[in-house]
Chains A and B, each alone.
Chain A
């Protein structure tokens, strides 16, 4: 297990390195200069040259890349051209918001999704299942941005039940320094997390229902019932545990969805997260920020995938990790 884990970690670092290299080259090749602060509004070429020199952007791309890697190894993510501050500080400010959003959405996704999926499977082809099946299909088909706008319009603008934007009340709670402000922070998270979480939950419910029904046909479930085990035990111990494997796999695949969804949701709900930081940085050709956010995002996705693999190995006794192979399924 340890050797496998080590190999996975090395592979993860290689993937992150490849992503960083790719993004670094791509953003530097993109047309446009970072020093033109206001788009086509005029920037004095002399000032532009000065700033480019100050930030070392006049060097060949290979030199810039080498310097970037050296600084990266030292733990320095560089300096933001547009934000006028260290990239590390900007990332440190934004990552917690994205993690809060993604974490809450993930929780909603899997608690609600699994619950609905199990409920539907236990009432398969009856009215609640048919109704929920259509509802989840509808929600799953919704584009994230559209759902966000609908929730914002309905619950924020019209009913005024939730804030329409921001991470907290800027008047009372610029920082979380009291219980009230903690509640306020959670209150601000409801609509954005619901946007991401509901779409995910609809998908998880459909996956889980299908998995539950598939497992229900298996011989070992029939045997368990024939042995006279109580129904809750059959469902929980035998049916659900096996059906969870597909959801664990889905868990690993959810991270990229959450991060890309966060870009839209953070923009619509004015959340100061990493998604919004990335979009702004791309538009401003803020090379150091774009590369750093790619680094962090790829690290998050790789970590999520790793966690899913570990959970899968722990959950399924048929899955054994071999020293020689990355991951083998051993038939009993």
Chain B
């Protein structure tokens, strides 16, 4: 027994030494000019990386690095015409008549398996995106393109059903060119679950390396990329479960990037970390209270409160949107001049809106017969109190907070509001079935006003995302004209008239447009963020040699 004790300690010591040596194991060190590892605390984990099958935000960020577009929108985010677009996969393009667009593929472009990228890939991509079996979320945006064909191996021809200002934008923005030789054999109705979606082979500045489910996706720069070697060698996306955990990783120097800090509290936390630099940029979402203009649960009947335009206007005028934004969001948010995010080029603070005026709001309600006849603090008409329920997603702390603030503002003019917090799926079901009075909703815009605004606010959107069933022939007409206007100035004027029309009708209260703030490690240089897709210019980012830290020099 006595002799066994030292042996045991000996064994333990050996184990500890081996573990220590293992911990000190030397790795190969990177000495190349593009050394660098960028760890991104991403918004969430995607289900697939096949661009045609998903509109997940993280999948889009990864796709920016793996799959090229023919051309991409510039920093101006001007979606009209083609002058502000940058060539990417297409070396150049020309118009062959009013509704035919010809792209010339860069002959240097290669898939990461070595195959050349051809016009056949472009035609195949369009065919797949518009195939109902693929169920691509971008299919609707491509409806005005009639065909895409390969004239020769490097020439792709787009033909449109009609001529309109955003033809070029539609041709290049929604589709990422896919490898026909790898996907042709995959049945179209199985694209969502295709193994390619978890091990993609692209043609972009980064190659796919690995995907550890629930943990990380790793990409490595393609040093032979025909548009120039990316500045940072490795990009690793981690999947923190919520924004708070993501910011913790950023602050603790275990992540280099968080592209959206979202709330003022998280921004302040990130600001407190000395290695983090903040980059504000316009956001692509706006939030509003949507009034259901049809009866709750019965879309055939008008809503007893919100079908009256004057009542909706009164409710809108009762809300001090500027103060709400200032108190809840500080510099991160702005009051939108209509149904738009700050990303859109039609944003104009001069657009006419209903003022904050509780006196006028009360007058409107009195005029419509909504008075406090029984002095209980709540207005009533024909024995019915002026009360309604507002649904809000339980997952959004900000919108829950806003619901309570709105409740108080409405109370001041004698309107009683009850709040229902629902999980997003249940909330969507209520919206689709029209089973709600009012809802606090958020919408994301792509850079074009044409798709988002018409989808959510015109009569054509009823049955789709126009959940409040707002219908105004005048608004519809103005939107149609704005979409088909031949110049950007003319289009902007028409959009302004359309937005002023919807503002006057008040089918919703447009509460705030969120700005974005990215937190990025201060050793990263040449950070350029295009607001509609923060990672689109990632290949231009650099980590100067003298600022590199240990993780930048690690080679696998």
Residues of A within 8 A of B (CB): 30-34, 36-47, 50-51, 54, 79-80, 82-85, 89-90, 93-94, 97, 152, 156-157, 160, 163-168, 170-172, 174-175, 178-180, 182-183, 266-270, 272-273, 276-277, 283-285
For A38, the chain B residues whose CB sits under 8 A away are 55, 424
Q: Are the C-beta atoms of B137 and A183 separated by less than 8 Å? A: no
Q: Are the C-beta atoms of A165 and B425 separated by less than 8 Å? A: no
Q: Which of the segments B251-259, B319-327, B369-377 contacts the partner chain?
A: B251-259
Query: What are the 4 tightest A-B residue pairs by CB atom distance, in nearest-first order?
Result: A272-B214, A32-B425, A179-B22, A39-B424
Question: Within the assembled complex, what's the spacing in Å between the Cα atoms of A93 and B212?
Answer: 9
Q: Are the C-beta atoms of A164 and B425 separated by less than 8 Å? A: no
Q: Are the C-beta atoms of B455 and A32 separated by less than 8 Å? A: no
Q: Which of the segments B117-125, B233-241, B530-538, B540-548 contacts the partner chain?
A: B233-241
Within 8 A of A (CB), among B342-393: 393
Q: Mark B443-466, 1 if CB is under 8 A from A, else 0.
A: 110000000000110000001110
For B456, the chain A residues whose CB sits under 8 A away are 42
Q: Are the C-beta atoms of B241 and A267 separated by less than 8 Å? A: yes
Task: Say yes or no: A50-B251 contact (C-beta < 8 A), given A32-B428, A40-B393, A171-B39.
Answer: no
Q: Are the C-beta atoms of B395 and A39 separated by less than 8 Å? A: yes
Q: How many residues of B contact A (CB 8 A)?
A: 73
Q: Are the C-beta atoms of B395 and A160 separated by less than 8 Å? A: no
Which A residue's beta carbon lies closest to that of B394?
A283
Q: Mark B206-221, 1 if CB is under 8 A from A, else 0.
A: 0000101111101000
Which B residue's beta carbon lies closest to that of A90?
B213
Which B residue's beta carbon lies closest to that of A276?
B241
For B427, the chain A residues whose CB sits under 8 A away are 32, 39-40
Q: Are the C-beta atoms of A170 and B238 separated by less than 8 Å? A: yes
Q: Are the C-beta atoms of B212 and A174 separated by less than 8 Å? A: yes
How many pairs of residues, A versus B, come closer than 8 Å at their CB atoms? 183
Q: Are the C-beta atoms of B215 and A166 separated by less than 8 Å? A: yes
Question: Within the assembled complex, what's the spacing in Å between the Cα atoms of A32 and B435?
Answer: 13
Question: Within the assembled complex, what's the spacing in Å between the Cα atoms of A253 and B189?
Answer: 46
Q: Are the C-beta atoms of B218 and A40 separated by less than 8 Å? A: no
B19 sits at the interface (CB 8 A)? yes
Give 9 pairs: A residue, B residue, CB < 8 Å, sorted on A: A32-B429, A39-B424, A40-B428, A83-B213, A97-B214, A165-B254, A172-B27, A174-B216, A268-B241
For B210, the chain A residues whose CB sits under 8 A away are 174
Distance from A65 Cβ to chain B, minimum over Cβ atoms (Å): 20
Q: Are the C-beta atoms of B47 and A42 separated by less than 8 Å? A: no
B135 sits at the interface (CB 8 A)? yes
Question: Within the assembled complex, what's the spacing in Å between the Cα atoms of A104 and B24?
Answer: 24
Does more than half of chain B's interface fall in helix, strand or loop, or is it mixed?
mixed
B140 sits at the interface (CB 8 A)? yes
Q: Are the C-beta atoms of B425 and A285 separated by less than 8 Å? A: yes
Q: Are the C-beta atoms of B551 and A42 separated by less than 8 Å? A: no
Distance from B130 Cβ to chain A, minimum over Cβ atoms (Å): 12
Q: Are the C-beta atoms of B236 and A180 separated by less than 8 Å? A: no
For A43, the chain B residues whose CB sits under 8 A away are 137
Question: Within the assembled complex, what's the spacing in Å between the Cα atoms of A70 and B253?
Answer: 49
Question: Within the assembled complex, what's the spacing in Å between the Cα atoms of A80 and B442?
Answer: 27
For B18, the chain A residues whose CB sits under 8 A away are 179
Select B429's contact among A31, A85, A160, A180, beta carbons within 8 Å.
A31
Select B23's contact among A32, A40, A183, beta carbons within 8 Å.
A183
For B439, the chain A residues whose CB sits under 8 A away are 40
Question: Within the assembled complex, what's the spacing in Å between the Cα atoms of A41 and B197?
Answer: 23
Question: Within the assembled complex, what's the spacing in Å between the Cα atoms of A179 and B240?
Answer: 26
Q: Which of B189, B212, B214 has the most A CB atoms < 10 Å from its CB?
A: B214
Q: Are the C-beta atoms of B254 and A183 separated by less than 8 Å? A: no
Q: Are the C-beta atoms of A170 and B236 separated by less than 8 Å? A: yes
Select A32's contact among B140, B426, B551, beta carbons within 8 Å.
B426
Q: Are the C-beta atoms of A170 and B216 separated by less than 8 Å? A: yes
Question: Within the assembled complex, what's the spacing in Å between the Cα atoms of A97 and B214?
Answer: 11
For A34, the chain B residues whose CB sits under 8 A away are 425
For B76, the chain A residues whose CB sits under 8 A away are none
Which A residue's beta carbon lies closest to that of B241?
A267
Q: Which of B136, B424, B426, B430 has the most A CB atoms < 10 Å from its CB?
A: B424
Q: Are the C-beta atoms of B551 and A171 separated by less than 8 Å? A: yes
Question: Within the assembled complex, what's the spacing in Å between the Cα atoms of A46 and B237?
Answer: 32
B248 sits at the interface (CB 8 A)? yes
For B431, the chain A residues whose CB sits under 8 A away are 40
Which B residue's beta carbon lies closest to that of A164?
B252
For B212, the chain A residues whose CB sits under 8 A away are 170, 174-175, 272
Select A270's contact among B241, B395, B429, B430, beta carbons within 8 Å.
B241
B249 sits at the interface (CB 8 A)? yes
Question: Within the assembled complex, what's the spacing in Å between the Cα atoms of A179 and B16?
Answer: 12
Q: Are the C-beta atoms of B464 and A33 separated by less than 8 Å? A: no
Distance from B51 Cβ to chain A, minimum over Cβ atoms (Å): 13
For A160, the chain B residues whose CB sits under 8 A away are 252-253
Q: Are the C-beta atoms of A93 and B213 separated by less than 8 Å? A: yes
Q: Are the C-beta atoms of B37 and A171 separated by less than 8 Å? A: yes
- 13 more contacts with CB within 8 A, not counting A51-B192, A174-B210, A270-B245, are A39-B425, A40-B442, A44-B139, A44-B464, A54-B135, A84-B53, A152-B248, A167-B215, A170-B218, A171-B554, A179-B21, A180-B23, A270-B239
Select B248's contact among A164, A170, A285, beta carbons within 8 Å.
A164
Q: Are the C-beta atoms of A39 and B248 separated by less than 8 Å? A: no
For B432, the chain A residues whose CB sits under 8 A away are 45
Q: Which of B198, B216, B425 has the most A CB atoms < 10 Å from its CB?
A: B425
For B418, the chain A residues whose CB sits under 8 A away are none
Distance from A157 Cβ to chain B, minimum over Cβ atoms (Å): 5
Which B residue's beta carbon lies closest to that of A158?
B252
Distance from B233 Cβ to chain A, minimum over Cβ atoms (Å): 11
Q: Which of A94, A165, A183, A269 has the most B CB atoms < 10 Å from its CB?
A: A165
B242 sits at the interface (CB 8 A)? yes
Q: Are the C-beta atoms of A170 and B39 separated by less than 8 Å? A: yes
Task: Say yes or no: A164-B249 contact (C-beta < 8 A), given A85-B198, A174-B218.
Answer: yes
For A168, the chain B residues whose CB sits under 8 A away are 215
Task: Say yes or no: A267-B463 contact (C-beta < 8 A), given A31-B425, A171-B37.
Answer: no
For B136, the chain A residues whose CB sits under 8 A away are 47
Within 8 A of A (CB), among B463-494: 463-465
Q: Are the C-beta atoms of A41 and B443 separated by less than 8 Å? A: yes
